Amino acid sequence: MTPKLPLYFDYNATTPVDERVLEAMLPFFGEDFGNPSSRSHAFGWKAEAAVEVARQQVAELIGATPQEITWTAGATESNNLAIKGACEMYRDKGRHIITCSTEHRAVLDPCAALAKAGWQVTHLPVDEAGRVDPAKVEAAITDQTVLISIMAANNETGTLHPLAEIGRIAKQAGVLLHTDATQAAGKIPLAVESLGVALLSLSAHKLYGPKGVGCLYVRRRSPRVRLAKQMHGGSHERGLRSGTLNVPGIVGLGAAAEIAGNELTDDAERLVALRDRLDEGVRSQLPEVQLNGHPTERLCNTANLSFAYVEGEALMMKLSSLAVSSGSACMSASREPSHVLKAMGVPDALANAAIRFSLGRPTTVEEIDFAIGAIVQAVRELRAISPLYELAREGIDPTRLQ
């Protein structure tokens, strides 16, 4: 039986709101519409209580305390608050930041803005699997280093960084470690104490919550982290982030975090099996398909595959029955090869032939099997009209031709 088309394989871009999350949110659009800052009546009290329940739910997902959770509009704002806020607060210590060449633009761009303002930014390389070497992190630290920002999991390849080891290095050096955990939250266990992170960003819409809401974990002890506010206009969120709180969104993020924590192990086991079924099913039928990213230290739901002698944009047009991505959703309009794959040393021809398949909670075996058939057929059809593939079959290396 053919599943209902098109099929969604772009869960790293966004996820549907879980029905249980929506159910928790609905009262706060109408009946319980109060402003949590209105502390003189029951409408405000009820909204404030709901916000604090959500703070507890998110804190439990990452092993933090509720007081360490600051609400934001999403991971991009959280990253900006963490990076710019830490650098402004600790600028008297030094003016050096360490980050990674495969970070999301929500980290790279704030670092670039600080570089224009006179900060020194070190962009660490990654190996061919997309991982940062902790030894290189340690070697890059100077007496001027204020902050290290390394993502927990890459959004394009799913590669996991050795964050706990980096955290130990940062703590020994007395440097703050920030991690963008947007893709990792709800997919792998996250415990801020064992990871040694001082700041952690996440977003609701990546874990079956609503769009437009996220949070930033800010460590309160060993060490207590202070940030310079980046948004002014009131004393909300202990003065760190002004603006009336998005109560329905925050309730949704809390519910999504609680569900993700309760179902993480079962979800991960199921998604690994589906991801590997897709990967093996495609590569068993097609030659010259490369997996981009670490083979094992990778998110349970992500497979980034390059199809040699096929142009990625043409392949996505052929795969009209599948919603897939050629990289980050924020950069999908760009025709440039993925900066993540280029940093990993993937040749431009293969980087331009890369497709990211990211699975989610609703993905089924039937959808995976349909996708395998569609991918194999599309690649075979495109290779059949590719002169480069013909040359390769004749034993001629097309990359050596001028």
Contact criterion met (CB below 8 Å) for 128 and 114: no
Predicted confidence (pLDDT) at residue 395 exceeds the cutoff of 90? no
Whole-prediction pTM: 0.95
Residue type, position 286, single letter: L
Residue 153: pLDDT band (50, 70, 90) is very high
- The answer to whether residue 134 sits within a structural domain is yes
- pLDDT the model gives residue 334: 55
Residue 242, domain CATH: 3.40.640.10
Last residue of a domain, one of 244, 259, 274: 259
Same domain, yes or no: 45 and 114: yes
- The answer to whether residue 391 sits within a structural domain is yes
Predicted confidence (pLDDT) at residue 328 exceeds the cutoff of 60? no
Residue 64: phi, psi to the nearest 5?
-110, -175
Determine the number of helices (DSSP H) and then strands (DSSP E) in the chain. 13, 12
Rounded Cα gap, residues 107 and 334, in angstroms: 18
- pLDDT the model gives residue 396: 73
pLDDT over 70, % of the chain? 95
Residue type, position 10, single letter: D
- The answer to whether residue 1 sits within a structural domain is no
- The answer to whether residue 174 sits within a structural domain is yes
pLDDT over 90, % of the chain? 89
Which residue matches tokens 């609701």?
A: 204
Rounded Cα gap, residues 348 and 335, in angstroms: 11
Same domain, yes or no: 238 and 284: no
Same domain, yes or no: 285 and 239: no
Q: Give yes or no: 330 in active site.
A: yes
Chain segment 14-43, per-residue pLDDT in tens = 999 999 999 999 999 999 999 999 989 999
- The answer to whether residue 361 sits within a structural domain is yes
Residues facing residue 217 across a β-bridge: 69, 200
Q: What share of the chain is helix, strand, coil (3-state, %, to 5)?
A: 45, 15, 40
Residues facing residue 305 across a β-bridge: 291, 355
Buried b (16+ CB within 10 A) or exposed e, 179-217: bbbbbbbbbbebebeebbbbbbbbbbbbbbbbbebbbbb
Chain segment 198-228, per-residue pLDDT in tens = 999 999 999 999 999 999 999 999 999 999 9
Q: Counting Cβ atoms within 10 Å, is residue 38 exposed (0-12), middle (13-18) or buried (19+)?
A: middle
Contact criterion met (CB below 8 Å) for 351 and 342: yes
- pLDDT the model gives residue 206: 98
Structure tokens that stand for 349 in this block: 């021809």
Same domain, yes or no: 329 and 231: no
Rounded Cα gap, residues 108 and 122, in angstroms: 11
Task: Give the range of the structural domain holding residue 386, as residue numbers without chain letter.
Answer: 7-14+264-400
Residues facing residue 304 across a β-bridge: 292, 356
Last residue of a domain, one of 235, 259, 283: 259
- pLDDT the model gives residue 394: 63
Same domain, yes or no: 237 and 275: no
Contact criterion met (CB below 8 Å) for 111 and 83: yes
Closest CA to 140 of 107, 114, 118, 173: 173
CA distances from 363 to 134, 140, 225, 241, 360 (A): 35, 42, 40, 37, 5
Contact criterion met (CB below 8 Å) for 343 and 126: yes
Edge-to-edge strand ranges of the sheet holding 145-149: 69-72, 214-218, 199-203, 176-180, 145-149, 96-100, 120-124
Within 10 A of 257 (CB to CB), how many other CB atoms are there? 29
- The answer to whether residue 393 sits within a structural domain is yes
Predicted confidence (pLDDT) at residue 89 exceeds the cutoff of 90? yes
Rounded Cα gap, residues 26 and 52, in angstroms: 17
User: Span 83-100, mean pLDDT?
Assistant: 97
Q: Which segments within 92-237 are labelled E, that is strand?
A: 96-100, 120-124, 145-149, 176-180, 199-203, 214-218
Residue 330: pLDDT band (50, 70, 90) is low
Same domain, yes or no: 238 and 269: no
- Work out the mean pLDDT of the chain and round it to a whole number: 94
- The answer to whether residue 323 sits within a structural domain is yes
Same domain, yes or no: 234 and 349: no
Helices (H), 67-157: 75-89, 105-116, 134-140
User: Span 75-83, mean pLDDT?
Assistant: 98
Structure tokens that stand for 333 in this block: 């309009």
Residue 283, domain CATH: 3.90.1150.10
Same domain, yes or no: 219 and 277: no
- The answer to whether residue 312 sits within a structural domain is yes
Last residue of a domain, one of 229, 259, 289: 259
Rounded Cα gap, residues 254 and 128, in angstroms: 37
Rounded Cα gap, residues 181 and 190, in angstroms: 9
Chain segment 179-200, per-residue pLDDT in tens = 999 999 999 999 999 999 999 9
Same domain, yes or no: 247 and 356: no
Same domain, yes or no: 67 and 190: yes
Q: How many domains does the chain have?
A: 2
- pLDDT the model gives residue 264: 98
Residue 399: pLDDT band (50, 70, 90) is low
* Active-site residue, selected from the candidate residues 87, 100, 300, 330: 330
Q: What is the DSSP letter of 118?
A: T
Predicted confidence (pLDDT) at residue 272 exceeds the cutoff of 90? yes
Same domain, yes or no: 183 and 283: no
Same domain, yes or no: 275 and 323: yes
